[in-house]
Every structure is written in C-alpha cells, then in structure tokens.
Chain A
Amino acid sequence: MSRVIVVGNGMVGYKFCEKLRSRSKEHEIIVYGEEPRPAYDRVHLSSYFSGSTAEDLLMAPVSWYVENNVELFTSELVIEVNRENKTVKTHTGKVDHYDYLVLATGSSAFVPTVEGVERHGVFVYRTIEDLNQIIDYGKKVKKAAVLGGGLLGLEAAKALLDLGLETHVIEFAPRLMPRQIDDTGSAVLAHKLSQLGITIHLNKNTKKIAGNGKLEGLEFTDGSSLAIEMLVISAGIRPRDELAKANSLKVNPRGGVMVDDHLRTSDESIFAIGEVAVHNNMVYGLVAPGYEMADIVARQIIGEPSKLFTGFDMSTKLKLIGVDVASFGDPFGEITPSIPIAFQDKRNGVYKRINISEDGKHLLGGILIGDASQYNIFHQMVVNKMPLPAQPESLIIGSPGKNEPEGAGVKSLPDTAQICSCENITKGDLVSQITEHGATTVDDLKKKTKACTGCGGCTPMVNDILKITLESLGHKVKKTLCEHFEYSRQELYDIIKVKGIKSYDVLLNSVGRGDGCEICKPAVASLLSSIWNELIAEQDTIQDTNDRYLANIQRGGTYSVVPRIAGGEITPGKLMAIGRIAQKYGLYTKITGGQRIDMFGARVDQLPEIWEELIAEGFESGHAYGKALRTIKSCVGSTWCRYGVQDSVSFAIFIEDRYKGLRAPHKLKGAVSGCIRECAEAQSKDFGIIATEKGWNLYVGGNGGARPQHAKLLVNDVDTETCVKLIDRFLMFYIKTADPLTRTATWLNKLEGGLDYLRDVIVNDSLGIGEELEMEMKELIANYHCEWKKVVENPELRERYKHFINDDEPDTTLAFVEMRDQKIPIDWHKK
C-alpha cells in the first residue's frame, strides 16, 4: 500500500489525516510538523488568554495518532524534497520515502517592512509560542497596540484586553475588517469595541516603530504618534511556500503553491491543501475550504472518484470579542448590480445590510453586525437563489411572533370567536366563505382565508366548522380521508383488517388512487399499527417526520428525546443516567407535563447513539413522537401519602406498561390518583382513574389543551381487574371508530347517544363486541416492542439517521444560543 507523507500538522493537515484514515486503513500516513505540539485549533487561539490550555486547544490528543496508526513527528521541519527519488529530508538529516506528498504547511504572519520592526516588544500572533511570549511580555507593560484591524487583528486585540492592557488597534484602511464589512458596519462595530475599552485608529499608516532597543511608540505618516510599550503585528498572512519554491514547483508570484481543481501541484505526486495552496488565484484563509480540500485529496489518494475543488463560498460568521459579525454572498453588492437595504441601530450595536437584485427577486449578499442570528437563513437564501418576499425589508425589520391555539367542539362558538389566531380569522369569516363564496374543502378555506397556514393548530376546528356549515346547507358530507381514498377512517380500518393489508402501497393500489399525501399516509400508518402493531420503521416514508425518526422535531430541525418513565417513578441511578447522557450530547433538559424528562437539541445522526446509551441504562422508547399512548401520570398514593387509599403509583405503572406503544387516532394520556383529592389530575385525561375506599372510579374522554374538558364518570367502585377490562374495551372502541387526529373528548362529543351509549357498549356490552375488543387489545399488547431497541440493533435502519445521504457531516446550519445555562435553537424566521 502506498505511503503518504504530510508536511505540516495544522488544522487542515490534521483533518486530512482524519479523512484519509476514515476511508482507508491500509495507507501509511506519516506527518512532519515543525511546531513542538500536535495540531491545535488556531481559530480559537484567543481563548488561550481567557483560560483555555494548550491541551484544550488540541485537535486530537497524541493518543489519537497512535490509535489511528498515524506516525507523527513534531518539532521536525522538512527542508528538502527530492522529487525524482520521491523522498523528503528533515532538518535532523532524516530521509523518508513517499508515494504521495501532501503540503499542508499553512502560512506565517506577514510582517511589513517598517523601520524598527526588530525591536523588543514587537510580536506576531500565530502560534501558541507567540502567545506565550505575548503573555510574558504583557506582564511587564501597561499599553499595547495591534497593527491590523482585520479579523485576526481584532482577535489579537481581545487577547490583549484579556491580559488587562490598555488596547489600541491601528488600521491602514478607513474601516475595520475591510474585506468583510462596509463603512457603516465598521462604524457600528468600532462603537461597540470602544465601549469594551478598545481604542480604534483608522487611516493610519505606520512609518516607524520608535524606541531605544525596546519599543516606546509608533509614528505615523500623518505626523501623529502613539505611545505604547508592546505591539502585535497582524497585517496578513504569507503562504509557507519555501519548500515548493526550492523544489521548482509552480508558485504564485505573490506567494502560494499553484494547484489545479484536483489540488495537484505541478508534480503529479504532490498535493497542496489549506492556506499554502493557490487555486484559481485565490488563497483561502478559512478552515472550511481547507477541510474541503483535505477531503478531496484523501478521496483521490485512495482512488475514489472525487468531486473537484471549484472554489468556495466565503460567507462567514463569528463572534468577535462577544460581538456577532457575519458577511455572506456578495457583502458589498459589487459583483452584480444590486440595491442595498440597511438597518442601523447604534444604541444596541446592531447593523444589518442585505443586497437584493435590481429586480427585487433575489438576495445577493449582505452584512450582519451585533445580531447574526439570521445568518444561516440569509446564507441559504443566497445559495438557494430563493425568491424574496414582496417586502424584502421585512427580512431585517421583522415582526413579533404569535401564539398558537388548538381545537375542539365548535358548534357552540359565536361567530366572533377567533379560530385562527395566527391570521386572526373568526368563525364568522370561515362560515361566510362557505355560505357565500362557495368554499367546500379545507384547502379552499386555507387559500381564501389563510386559516391553518400558520401553526396549523386550528385545522381540526376549521374542519369541524366546514362540516357543520356544509351540513346546515343541506350538503351530504361524506367523511372521506382525502383525494386519494374515498373512504372514512373507520371504513379503511375494516378494509385493512378484512383484507389483511399490511402496507400503505398495497392499500393504495387496491382501494386508492394517485400517490397519496401528507393526510392519508400518516392516517393509514396509524391504522396499520393500531391493527397489526408491526415495526413502523419498516415503512418510514409514510410516517410523519416524528414517527419517521422516532423523535420529536423541534425548531431548527433537531429532535427531542423522551424515554419512558412509567408513572413518573424513577430511581436516582436512572436519573443520573439521563443526566450523564444529556450532558454528554449537550442536550437541553426539561421536565414534561407528563412526569418525564425531555432532552432537546439532538441531531438526527445522534439519535441512535443516544438511544443505544439509554437502552443500555434500561430505558425504552416513550413514544412521545407518536399518536400513541404517552404517559400515565400518578400521585404518590397510599405508599407514602397520609391521605392515599390505594397504591396509585403501582397501578399507573401497570397501566402504562400495559398500553405502552399503543397507536391511536391521536395521542392518549391517562392518570391515576390515590384519593379523591385528585393530585394526578385524572379528570383531565383521555382516561383517568381515581381511588376510592372500595376500588376505582373510571373517567373517560377528558383533555386539556385549548378547549379543556373534564372526563366523564363511566363506572364507580370497580375492582382492579374490571377497571382494566373496561379500559381495554374503551380504548379499542375509540381506536376502531374515531376519525384521524381526533382526541377521545371530541370523539365522545360527536358520538351519537353520547356517554350513555358508550356506557352501554363498554360496560353493558350491548353490541356483544366486548370480548372481541378485549381480544384485539390482547394481540396488540402481545406485539409490543421498543421501536428504538429494534432500530439500534439493526444497522440498516440505523443508516437512515443522517442528514446528508452523500456526506457523513451533520447539518452545518444548526445554530444554538445559550439561555439559563442551557442551549436553545436560534429563533426562526418570523413573518
């Protein structure tokens, strides 16, 4: 197998080793690094001044190189390449053979030729050794300056500030960060920095570094001067191309090794990546393009056909001395004709500029200072060439968010009742669309009124209003699922059961038409699992996204994870396990209303790993993602409570274990209270049990939400066995007959004959189906499986948990901010 020598162990050189090793175990990888330590994170160098150690900054510990069979020589500088014999020679005289040579030598700080640059107290800002010298010297002085107001210069200024020095920044150009931001942006940033104690000097051309041996001050061409004791130069970078030059590889006259789209130098066996490479006249001083280059070269070396390097988007976002700074696309609007729209708020230190195309249709680029939370959105709008809204200024001015309602029984509502609070649509608005403007479907109503188009929480109510109003007009309303199925849910239940249909496709082929949609697919998926209870992951693309990934999608596109904690009872050991796992994956944790713990912010690719750990600790799926049994809440009951008359916790755990994983037309919640004080709030659940001296009272059909409704008493003072039997029947009857996405409360409200009829069927068995219902429930219970256990154990199913199908990286647009010591996603787009 071939031998690959990497010259340079910086961030990009390290990334190359990682990429090559992940694709090939056979290739020999040998790395020569000039610095005394392995590759470290240069991006976060300034954190070295605020407490990070050199160890913290390492890209990977020394053991990584050993474990991955990467031979690393630190403090060893390659001084010669013999291209004919394919060998390198180091400064210790060692000669080593290569099949492929990868130059990742990076760059050094550019030091301008100014008189006095050799004086004591003048430093560059590039390596940890530089930082150590700056820290040592900084202890002896009080006033310091940075030469260069670019990105790295401002980072260096932050470092000086952290050392407790009076800090100045000297910039030749009329603005800070001249490559990334415009004059106004610079003014806002400078104002903010001056509040933090940094003095900014623009338009200053340094003529002389004055002093006598050691540094005493700077003299500028405009005749002014500044007394300082220490200077950090950060005026740009120079690619480290000396090795290439000495071996007559093609170099750019202004520095850097020339490479083609394959990152090959003028020698077939030699590649150059990172800041030392010049591609198409560009040096990329960012890590992201460097990593991309590393990946491309690794693929070529193992002989995998690779994409080409065709340039890289230079959009960038960072936090600079605590201030967000971002630029994206064409920040100055100079590449194509454009019109800028800008918002400036000096009081809060915020500046936002977007450049839109002349026809107003597309976003071309822009600048964000002080608040870069919209960076990802804007960057994506540019790369996707997405059409702009009619008032593009709304993108940077925005409007406050709105609340979201939920629906139930609408007959009794007045015409003035607000149904859709997102769009402020009343019941009267909807009714008049139906009676006067001929709307006959929910889609008609959505198009005409925008109801249901915000949060979607009003959809059930809009459905009900449509149905009631059409009926009142004398229309016969057949409850068909959607345009693909001419049947109601209950009819489909019977069809699936009688014909023994087990997949959506077979059902669509036999009794449906078209390709299905987002209404019938999850409805049928729910029916299939309510009837057969087979693994839903086998038909993942007909599931709603929560069921597809067995987790709850949250703002930003990450998921939350809820393990089952039956009855809300949990051992300290299991509590610690959840804590440990949440901490390991950096998850936001919160106690839910159902007495369990929700862990937010998991990336889709992390879900199987997180569940593997949870399962190892004895947890199983909580089905929080499904239209399924959620929790059985309990009060502590007679085991501890001085008032308790029955052991409500044990009963709640028994019930939750019995029905866990049960899928239904909508979510199901239950509760068990240990006495009449009702601390578990059982009367607000789909089924609630309250202990009496003689046994249990069973309530059904309650729910919380926007239209809370108390559950109704079905039977009183029954023994445990009877209570369970009646719940079996009740749940099964509901599952078989309810419309999609209908909670038990709404179902019971609409049931002809109401509670008396339900009691007849369930308790008195008036239809003679009691035993059948119990049998059906028994089969479902027997088929229970922890969906996550199945997925974790099945490599094929696990493989589906990734964001990109052609790349193992996670979604790079995910972004979080901190709140009360936990992470939350950045706010999403408001309209």
Chain B
Amino acid sequence: MNYELPMINSNNETPQMDLTNNISKDTDVKIWFKAARVEAFPENGGACVRYKDLQIAVFNFTRRNEWYACQNMCPHKMQMVLSRGMIGSHQGEPKIACPFHKRTFSLKTGECLNTDECAITVYPVRIENGYVHIGLTA
C-alpha cells in the first residue's frame, strides 16, 4: 500500500498520455522497454511483464515465430489475468482467451472477438539480441 507524506514540492509530473488510440504504432513508440530474455517466456504461451505500475501480457507464438503484447487486465471483470490465458487463432487472427470467462481478444487490434466487450490495448514487440522489447508510448 502506498502511503503519502505531505510533500514540500508538488510539481505533479505525470507523463502525458496519448489518448487518441488504443493501438500504438511503431512510430509512436517513445520507449522500447527491455522486458526479459526470449527464453524466459514459455513457448506458445504468455507471461506477465512489469513496467512500473503497468502490467503487460506478452505472448510467444512460437509456431508462427511472432510475438504480441497487450494489457494484462481483462476489461470484463477487470482482472489481472490475460497473461495466464490460452493463445490461439481465429481464422488466422492471433488471439488471447481470458481464463476467467473466455472472452477472446485479437492481439493485432485489441478488439473483442466473441462479445461486444470493449477493446484492449495492444503494444508492439521487438526482439533484439535475444531480448524481448515492448514499445510504449509514454
């Protein structure tokens, strides 16, 4: 639990956030966050990465040789679990299924594929020198 003492200096410098879209394109990326080594992630599955207070679910599609990342929270019941879900494809589109109630989301667009649940944020992923990097806009 956070606990705040009165401060003598309160320039509240919360970083500005890009509010226009839930998908960040490579060109919008301000930080490539070096998350962990490739081998740390399970094959054909996901794991959760922490960046400050942000929880990011990262998925290793070994069969496709592709990587995807999205918010770890499922918007349905606001649970921090998407990284524990099963990955798969829906007519070729890579997707993640929430372990709680099996809502599925496209990992390309963040859109919910089986209900009208709101979309999730997805992040670009790069592999460099054996490390997984996640592109963040702020």
Contact = CB atoms under 8 A, between A and B. Distances in A.
A385 B19 contact: yes
A696 B125 CA distance: 62
A299 B47 CA distance: 23
Contact of B88 (A284, A361, A379, A517): A517
B50 A809 contact: yes
A285 B4 contact: yes
A793 interface: no
B115 A453 contact: yes
On chain B, which size bracket covers the interface? 35 or more
A283 interface: yes
A377 interface: yes
Given A515-B87, A806-B35, A316 B119 contact: no
Given A283-B9, A447-B115, A329 B14 contact: yes
Interface string B1-25: 1111111111111111111001000
Per DSSP, chain A at the interface is loop
B3 A553 contact: no
B9 A446 contact: no
A40 to B, nearest CB: 14
Given A237-B5, A453-B101, A384 B73 contact: yes
A43 B10 CA distance: 20
A141 B125 CA distance: 64
Contacts of A281: 9, 11, 13
Contacts of A262: none
A23 B17 CA distance: 34
Nearest to B99: A545
Nearest to A152: B5
Given A313-B53, A318-B1, A540-B42, A545 B84 contact: yes
B76 to A, nearest CB: 8
B6 A285 contact: yes
Contact of A541 (B7, B15, B45, B120): B45
Contact of B73 (A239, A380, A388): A380
Contacts of B86: 516-518, 521-522, 541-542, 544
A711 B12 CA distance: 66
A450 B115 contact: yes
Interface string A481-518: 00110000000000000000000010010000011111
Given A151-B6, A386-B118, A804 B49 contact: yes
A284 B118 CA distance: 35
Contacts of B129: none
A398 interface: no
B102 A456 contact: yes
Interface residues of A, number: 104
Given A362-B19, A806-B36, A312 B52 contact: yes
B91 interface: yes
A234 interface: yes
A513 to B, nearest CB: 9
Contact of B91 (A292, A483, A521): A483
B106 interface: no
Contacts of A311: 13-15
B5 A383 contact: no
B44 interface: yes
A519 to B, nearest CB: 8
B32 interface: no
Interface string A277-296: 01011111111100010000
Given A541-B42, A806-B40, A829-B78, 17 more contacts: A150-B6, A151-B4, A153-B6, A286-B2, A286-B4, A286-B5, A316-B2, A383-B52, A383-B54, A386-B73, A389-B118, A508-B63, A514-B88, A514-B89, A515-B63, A517-B104, A813-B80
Interface of A: 43, 107, 110, 148, 150-153, 179-180, 234-239, 252, 254-256, 275, 278, 280-288, 292, 311-318, 329-330, 335-336, 357, 359, 361-362, 376-377, 379-381, 383-389, 443, 446-447, 450, 453-456, 483-484, 505, 508, 514-518, 520-522, 540-542, 544-545, 548-549, 553, 555-557, 800, 803-807, 809, 811-813, 828-829, 831
Closest 3 CB pairs of A and B: A541-B45, A517-B88, A545-B99
